[in-house]
Amino acid sequence: MEKKELRALIRERNRNLTEEYRAQADAGIATRFLLYPVFQQVDSIFCYVSMADEPDTRTIIETAWQMGKMVTVPRCISMEDSRMEAVQIKSWDDLQEGTMGILEPKQGLPVIDGYKIALAVIPCVTADRWGGRLGHGAGFYDRWLKGQSMYKYCLCYEELLSDRVPMDQYDIKMDRIFTEDKIYNPKAQSDDSIQEAMKEAGSISIFSAIKRLFGRKG
Tell me what pLDDT residue 196 has. 52
Predicted confidence at residue 190, as pLDDT, reads 55
Q: Return the percentage of the chain with pLDDT > 90, whole number.
A: 78
Instruction: Give the pLDDT of residue 189.
Output: 58
Contacts of residue 205, Cβ cutoff 8 Å, sequence gap at least 6: none
Q: Compute CA distances 146 → 83, 88, 93, 115, whole Å.
A: 12, 20, 30, 12
Q: What is the mean pLDDT of residues 117-125?
A: 98
| Domain spans in the chain, listed from the N-terminal domain onward | 3-187, 193-218
Res. 180: pLDDT tops 80: yes
In this predicted structure, what is the pLDDT of residue 139? 86
Look at residue 20 in the predicted model and tell me its pLDDT.
98
Cα–Cα dist 74/89, whole Å: 10
pLDDT, one tens digit per residue, over 152-178 is: 999 999 999 999 999 998 999 999 999
213, 193 Cβ separation under 8 angstroms: yes
Read off the pLDDT of each residue in 121-127 and give the average, rounded to a whole number.
98
Looking only at the bridges linking them, the beta strands covering 190-191 and 44-47 are unpaired
CATH architecture of 3-187: 3-Layer(aba) Sandwich (3.40)
Per-residue CA distances from 11 to 75, 122, 213 (Å): 24, 17, 36
**pLDDT given for residue 101 in this prediction:** 84
